[in-house]
Amino acid sequence: MTKSEPGCDTEFTLPIAVQKRPTGTASLVHIHPPGPGAGRRHTLDGTPLLIGRVEGCDICLNEHAVSRRHACIDLVDGIYSVRDLDSTNGTRVNDQPVGSDPRPLRDGDYLQIGNYVFRFLAGGNVEAEYHEELYRRTFQDALTRLHNRRALNEFLERELIRSQRYNRPVSVILFDLDRFKAVNDSHGHLCGDHVIREVADLLRAVTRGEDICARYGGEEFALVLVEADHFSALAVAERVRTLVNCHAFRFEGVELALTISAGVATTCGDRWATTAGLLHEADERLYAAKREGRNRVVGEPAREDDAGAMSTWVVT
């Protein structure tokens, strides 16, 4: 079975296991807007699924057109149905408004929440598997299942536009494992891959639903924190540094002690801010952390009159 996206010349064949395996479960597939979320499948398990803007929602949509608690999908008399939770901008199915009474969903229905569009796919629909496979290939890192660099760039570009429009902060943290080459040289690349996956799990545990965590390349990782000022981002970076520093990495009977360094950059709606510029700023601070001895977090100058100085967090 070969599929291709509309307007895209690239085709690929789903693995046989995906072609033949029935999903058995209904799901929502993210159709719009394009970016790191596009193609992502949200499985419905029979329990109420809350969609909204605040942390704690099952599907968290970081957009002002989405209400804090916007809509809910639930199983009503054996049929998945959606109801609006008195949202500001309303909920629509196939461009028709939905009220507070449950509206049954049929296979293929389009659900609109703010500027987001999802497609409801009933259990057994192989299209859900196709979208999930496409999502993995396009936006996920194969080793860690974190987002990849492409997903990070698209997400950050979109958040910078929102930052400038609404004058709200966005922070970027770049992490790099210290002396990682020595792990590969001494214990082999399988051990190195195992370490990368464990670090990814530690990062995943501290990532909020509205943020994005990505493998930036090799032993480098990145976090984009939405509506997080510089001090908050420094605190998150320090939390990750501490987690890695205290974690016992084990592989085939070998226990490793590792550390990580981080650089933090923040914009508060600045018109000059670009994706490349903010990542470069975080990268410069990351390498300042390396120069200062590793196992530390470096951020922006502590005061405006501290020419060339940077704030540093480190355990002594």
Distances (CA, A) of 120 to 31, 108, 112, 127, 181: 10, 5, 11, 11, 46
Nearest to 81 by CA among 54, 109, 53: 109
3-state secondary structure of 4: strand
Read off φ and ψ for residue 215, nearest 5 degrees: -85, 120
In whole angstroms, what is the distance from residue 242 CA to residue 8 CA? 44
Nearest to 147 by CA among 200, 210, 205, 219: 200
- The partner residues of 80 in beta bridges, in order of sequence, read 75
Task: Single out the catalytic residue among 159, 219, 281, 300.
Answer: 219
Q: Is the peptide bond before 97 cis (omega within 30 degrees of 0)?
A: no
Task: Let me know: does 6 contact 38? Beta carbons within 8 Å.
Answer: no
Q: Can 219 be counted among the known catalytic residues?
A: yes
Residue type, 31: I
- Tokens (6 digits) for 255: 């226990």
Nearest to 215 by CA among 311, 285, 150: 150
* Residues carrying an active site annotation: 219
